[in-house]
Every structure is written in C-alpha cells, then in structure tokens.
Amino acid sequence: MSDQRYKLHPISAVINFVKGLKELILPFVVLFFANGFNLKENSGQNDFWLSLIPVGIFLLITIGLLISGIIKWWTYEYWFEEGELRVEYGLFVKKKRYIPFDRIQSFNYKEGIFHRVFGLVQVMVETASSTSGEAEVILTAISKEAANRIEIVTRKQKEEIRHADLQDSPLIVEEIAEPLSRVIHKMTTKELIILATTSSSMGVVIAGTAAVLSQFAEFIPFERIFEELSAFIKFGFVIVALSIMAGLFITWLAAVVVTFINYYDFTVWEENDRLIITRGLLEKKRVTIPLNRIQAVKIVENPLRQLFGFATVAVESASGGFGGDDKKITLFPLIRKKELLSPLEELFPRFNWEPSFTKPPKKAKPFFYRIDFIWLAPVILASSYWLFPYGLLSFLVIIPAVLIGLWQYKTTGFAINEQQLTIVYRVFSRVTFHVEKKRIQALESRQSYFQKRREIATVQVRVMSGMTGASAKAANLENENIEEIMKWFEKSNPTIE
C-alpha cells in the first residue's frame, strides 16, 4: 500500500481559528460589556489603561488561536500504511493516531460555508469505540476527491481482509464500483413548514432574542419604551391584538427560516446495510449509520403533532451522529403516522411495529399524579398565604396536574414478543420505544414502599447510545407484568450476535 502523505487544505487553518473564536464569543461578550463600555471620559489615566487589560487579553488569545490554527494545518498529515489510516500533527508535541481499516465503521461529512466556496468537505471518521459523539479522527478540510479516495481505500481493504483466504490481489482503487443506494424518505417544503410550526424553534427564536437584548439592557431606554407602549395601548384592543399577531407571525417566520436552513433537502437513503442522512442549506451535513449499530428506534409525538397525525422518528445508535451539539440522530424529523410503517418495515423488517400493549392496572392510576402534589402543595400554600386572596387561584393548578397524570396513565404500556420489547410512555410527548432483546444493555425493575403495598412496580430498559446511553420506562405496572418482562429477558437467546 502506498505510504504517500496527504495534507489538509490551507483553509483548514482559518476554519480552526474561527471554531476557536466561536468558543470565545461568550467570554468576549462578558468582558466587553463589563469593561469595554465602562470607559469614562473623566476617569484617570491609570483607570483607562486598567480597563483595557481584558480587551488586551482577548486580543492575545485571538492571535494565539490564529497561530495555533496555522500550526495544526502546517503539521497535519494523513496517509495509508499497513492496513491503517494514519494521522500525525503537532509542532513541539507530535500526536499520532493509527486506525485499522477494519475498525472504521463510517464516515460523516460536513460542508460549511468555507468548505462550499472551495469545493471541500470535513470528514469525521467513526470507529466502533466512537460512542461519545466525538469522531476518532477529523480531517478539517480536504477535497471531495480525497474524501472519496479514503472511503474507497477503506472499503477495498475491508473486502481484502474479509476475503483474504480467497484472493491475493493488489489494491486497485479504480476497480471499486459505486455501491447501489435507494432513497427511503425525503422531506418536502410543506413538511418543513409544519415541522417549524410544531417544534420548539419559535421558543428558541424568542429566547435568543431575549438573550441578545439582555446584553444591551443598560443601553436600552426602557422608561421611554414603556411610555410609548402605554400611549400605544390607548389606541385600543384591536390595534394591540393586531400588533401581537404581527409579532407572533414574524417569530413564526423566523422559526420557519431557521428550520428550513437546518433541514433543507433532508434525505434518508439506504446503501449497503448503512443509513445515510443528508441535510442543510448553509452547512451541508451527511451522517452514515451502519444498520448493525442501531440500538433502538424511538417514535415521538408531541401533543400538537399527535393531534394532526404527525410523528418524529429517531434512532439510538452507538455512532456519534453529526457531532458537536447535534449528537442525536433523527431519522424522520416529521412524517405522517399513516406513512410511517412502510419505510420502517423496509429498514427494520424484524420489528413488529403495531404490537398489542399491556396497560397499567386501574389501581395504579393515582400514582401517575400523586407525586406532583409533593412539590405543588408547598407552592400552593405559600401562594395562598402570601398572595391572599388571589393566591387561592393556585389551587386550580391541581386540575391540569391530575389531567396530565391521567393522560400519562392512559398512554403507558408495554409489549413483548420473542425478540422485541416495546415500551410506550409520555411526559408531555408520547414516546414509543422499540428495542430488540440482543441490544438491551440493562433491564431493571424498581418498586417503592407505596408501590409494594399496591403490588405494582416500574420497569426501565437501557441501551447503548453515546456516553450515558438511552432509556425508556413503563411506570406502575402489575407485579406479574414485571416478572413476565424480567423472565423474557433472562431467557436464553440463540440469535444474539
């Protein structure tokens, strides 16, 4: 195998610098607003120079980040040798990482603004041990041809290892044929709009706006704004209502734009026992998930989407997702429930997607809302005493607490067959958790003193997903049901891989 060494594109120095700079935005804002705007004309010369110290520190750190980015690009090399992908970088301290090709599970890709301008891509190499959301190796910026070369060489080497006893041929990259693929799901513009409207994007936009305004609080003339607002309210209820509606419309529009940018051209396809998901307008992302690393499938329906027959499907995987803050893997961000079974049955034919659920007994019904009274009682009593008589209205909170508890009771259930456990539950959103027996890392039952008196208990299942794993639980089931689940799990399973 050739041991020719390859370099990253020079733009990787800029990308590393910008990435480091992004992490300094919050500290910079704190320093800038705490010190930068406190420069008074009448302050002494010593005070003036002292106030510039934080700004100077930030400038030094910025220059250090730029130099660090250049050094990493200058020293970073990768090559193929002795059945491994090898990486080496560092000026004073050399860092090396050698990854055998047979350990590489998948390659994930990102194309940010800088990448797209120069026709580049960021490659994240996932291995069997990449469970924390961090890739084993990140090639910050290389050409698409170089990325294809890495994937082709890896695939060829895996084939040679697999068929080592049948063939003894040299590595010929040109002979590798492109794998066949089929599209499983592609989001439409209409679905993107519904996704934005029924998601938490509007809350994120409002919270983000509030956070930005809070940084400029001392420069905003709130008293004058309050006077103008008071005068505006005098125009009448209709004008105020129209203004509120206009504000909500602008917020909704901003949420749609954010969702459209993040999920633009969201496509899922299957290729050689792998799922490939691509999305993004400004930053294109591609994640590859080997089907054998998927631990569980989770169907989530928030109340609004459930009302209109939509759901979100996510997979719990031993892979790291898109990395960074986007580690969870969403298979279908929004899909009609009546259209859900067909693609899921194609991808996971061994699952039963419409099981018959066993529900908690009627005697367990109070256990779904009585826990709320523990923290509601002191809040209600304090409000009633200190805010009397209006504080007495806090007793009305008991009604939605009981209703939510009853809603959770009606939702909760479980189903088991030979090789599959399905648990359905809700906090607010309805979650249906499908998992095969061989993927379960732990299964436990819990029973409090009060549950023991009523002969009920809670069961919780945990699978591998990231550093902490993923779990689902069915609360307040009959003791007999809990024993049935535990015996099912303890029973030997000859199909476990």
Give tens-digit pLDDT for 327-338.
578 999 999 998
Residue 495 lies inside a defined structural domain of this protein: no
Domain boundaries, position 443: 267-360+412-490
Chain centroid to Cα 27, Å, comes to: 25
Q: Which residues pair with 143 in a beta bridge?
A: 120
DSSP, res 25: H
Same domain membership, residue 155 and residue 228: no
Assigned token pair, 131: 């469970």
Contact by Cβ (8 Å): 17, 65: yes
Domain check: are 259 and 278 in the same one? Answer: no
Contact 414, 423 (CB under 8 A): yes
Same domain for 426 and 391?
A: no
Would 182 be classed as within a structural domain? no
Structure tokens at 311: 């759901």
Find the mean pLDDT for residues 301-322. Answer: 84
Same domain, 57 and 203: no
DSSP code of residue 82: T
Q: What is the pLDDT of residue 212?
A: 47
Q: Which amino acid does the sequence have at 297?
A: V
- Domain co-membership, 335 together with 458: yes
- Whether 181 maps to a domain, the answer reads no
pLDDT number for residue 208: 52
Please compute the mean of the pLDDT values over residues 467-485 and round it to a whole number. 90
Residue 312 has pLDDT above 80, yes or no: yes
Domain-located, residue 245: yes
* Chosen domain end from 128, 144, 175: 175
The answer to whether residues 291 and 369 belong to one domain is: no
Structural domain includes residue 286: yes
Same domain, 24 and 66: yes
Which one of 409, 444, 472 terminates a domain? 409
| Same domain flag for 96 and 157 | yes
Q: State the virtual CA torsion across 482, 484, 486, 492 in degrees, nearest 10.
A: -170
CA distance 405 to 399: 10
Contact 332, 305 (CB under 8 A): no
Question: If you average pLDDT over every residue of the chain, what do you get?
Answer: 81
Domain stop point among 150, 175, 200: 175
How far lies 378's CA from each of 74, 351, 395, 403, in Å? 62, 46, 11, 20
401-405: long-range contacts, CB 8 A cutoff, minimum separation 24: 401/369, 401/372, 401/373, 401/376, 402/369, 404/369, 404/372, 404/428, 405/365, 405/368, 405/369, 405/370, 405/372
For residue 483, the one-letter residue type is E
How far is Cα of residue 261 from the mean position of the Cα atoms in its chain?
A: 16
Residue 407 banded pLDDT, cuts 50, 70, 90: very high
User: Do 118 and 170 have their domain in common?
Assistant: yes
Query: Do 30 and 93 sit in the same domain of this protein?
Result: yes
Measured CA to CA, the distance from residue 71 to residue 361 in angstroms comes to 65
Question: Would residue 298 count as lying in a domain?
Answer: yes
Instruction: Choose among 283, 273, 282, 9: nearest CA to 145.
Output: 9
Domain count for the chain, please give it. Answer: 4
Which DSSP helix (H) or strand (E) runs through 241?
helix 237-263
Is pLDDT of 279 > 70?
Answer: yes
Question: What are the structure tokens assigned to 80, written together?
Answer: 């193929």
Tokens 């009604």, residue located: 399
Q: Is 415 helix (H, G, I), strand (E, B) or coil?
A: strand
Residues 368 and 356 in one domain: no
Higher-confidence residue: 49 or 411? 411
Q: Are 415 and 353 in contact (CB under 8 A)?
A: no
Whether residue 151 is contained in a domain is answered as yes
Residues above pLDDT 90, as percent of the chain: 33
Q: Distance between CA atoms of 219 and 216, rounded to whole angstroms? A: 5
DSSP SS3 for 139: strand
Q: What pLDDT shows up at residue 4?
A: 85
Checking if the pLDDT of 408 tops 80, the result is yes
Structure-token match 């940018």, residue found: 261
Looking at the structure, tell me whether residues 355 and 469 fall in a common domain: yes
User: Distance between CA atoms of 14 and 12, rounded to whole angstroms?
Assistant: 5
Query: Has residue 1 been placed in a domain?
Result: no
Task: Scan for tokens 């000026």, then name that residue.
Answer: 91
Smallest CA-to-CA distance from 184 within 267, 287, 297 is with: 267
